[in-house]
Chains A and B, each alone.
Chain A
Amino acid sequence: MQVRYGRILLRFWKNSMLRELSFRGHFVVNIITQLLWVAMTLVFIKVIYMRTSDIRGWSEHQYLFLLGTHMLVTGLFETFFFTNCWRVSELVRTGGMDFILLKPANTQFLLSLEQIDYSAMASLPIAVALCVYGVVEGGVQLTWGKTALFAGLIVIGVVLLYSLVFMFAVTSIWLIRQTGLNNLWFYVVSVARYPSEIYRSFLGGVLWFVLVFIVPILLVANLPANVMVRTFEPMQVAYLAIVSLIMLGLSSVVFNFAMKWYRSASS
């Protein structure tokens, strides 16, 4: 039988919307916290750039654009995948995974996309506004090609984040109890928010190398921002695209491998 994934996805999104509508306050609170966060960060950046004109080659407007890009990537990830990844360990612990395994569709698909966190979308318009501000104030020449590449890189970045976090979530099949996902995500977010160049001076650049080439989370925001407002490095773009695809494939391999160890909980 042909499984119609498009229709399943649509149903998932509708269900999430119904769930979200019963907690409408979340959306408002998220907007307020995101706005506050941006306002605070803007003050910080203003305060810094009052005393300096560039941070490792990033001007004020480029930095703002980087922040917007970072919010965009992490916001998209949180909207589509974070709740789902977080739920994996819960499903393993309670045995709720049984129901998903029984369904006649790809398990990873069902696990990864069942819920949408609409309230996380609150940061997206703010992120876009930051990007637009950075571009306009920085006097950047936009082309359709650059914009399309930027959009593509955002998607690639989200795919990479999803693959990494999902693989991490899957390890709960072995560890059963795992609360580290929130922490992990917090650290990923706080590391990737800054110009990648700042990491070069630490430990002789080892950390920078690892975060750019081995687990390229630094590129997730830096690369699209670079393409749009600084310099376009085709090799890095190709590299990130390839690594993301490999990681996506790997996440599926790791997941299927881990499922061999899944033993339902209780009853």
Chain B
Amino acid sequence: MSIDRVNQLSSTCVRRRFALAPALLVLGVTLLCGTRAMASSGGEVVTTAAEPGSLLEVVLFYAVATMTIVSSVAVCMSKNIVRMALWLFMTLASVSFLYFLLAANFLASIQLVVYAGGTLVLLVFGVMLTNKSPWARYTPGKLELVGAAAVCSVLLVALWLVFLRAEWSRLPGAFAGTSVADLGRSLLSVYVVPFEVAGVLLMIVMVGAAHLARQDK
């Protein structure tokens, strides 16, 4: 590589650095919207931060929904398993923002803690432990791809048609916001049996996973 080429490369690097300015602008706008999307808590009860029916709510919903859809399509289109995991992370994070838009703050935070922080790291851990070469690819047959794509798109269209025609019936009573205290109360009263069963299940899974992944057999 000649010295001119080196100079040219480094100067493009420096110039490209300042292409960061628009990126920072985008980041700022995203943060601003994200802040507005995070539901506000008036005292105990959480309601949506954007007024229902306002322009802000519509804009936020379409932005976050686009992010979710793009990243979940990217999950199934990626060939590389680590990129799949990255796109899954994006999907999980945007689903957590959708939860914020639905005024489910606690669920959104738990989604971040358990899914994005725990489950995803576990998956990436699995990838790293089981890939001999990080670039290993497992390619499916053409016919299989076409078949799966056909089935999935037919299913999607069918679901869409159902959603358009469906007349959902509301339960009596109105949504009055979420509060963590209410969630906790119903977990320990109405749902106490599933709650305990989930606890036992987690215990069994912990023992089972430790046994399965044991080094010395």
Q: Do A and B bind each other?
A: no
